Amino acid sequence: MDLQKFFLASRYGTYMSVWYGLLYSVLETLKNNKVVIESIEKEISHIYTPLQDYRNAVFHPQPKYWSKKLFAIMKDKDSVAEIWKIHEVLSKYFRDEIDRRKPGITTYRYEII
């Protein structure tokens, strides 16, 4: 457990914690809006609750600093691969959705004042 604590306290662990927390927020929004992405539903179902616990431990004060909620996801040997798969599929999904909607993206020119 000491190695995991060391990792979480590192810069990389901090970035990962924010990423996992934000990923959960996206999954929660998809769920609330009944958006189903068939190719990752199995992974989302498997990781949803541990990711929710992790997010809650990161973004809400816990009774113990090293909450068990932080480590459940790390004990699952498949969690990293599943999170990467979900991330990649969501990336493609959102790019395709933007292309489908054709929002007429405007290019802005920034000037130094």
Residue range 13-57, pLDDT digits in tens: 888 889 999 999 999 999 999 999 999 999 999 999 999 999 988
CA–CA gap between residue 83 and residue 81 (Å, rounded): 6
Nearest to 8 by CA among 58, 46, 59, 56: 58
| pLDDT the model gives residue 10 | 80
CB 56 within 8 A of CB 97: no
CA distances (Å), origin 107, targets 58, 84, 99, 104, 113: 36, 31, 16, 10, 19
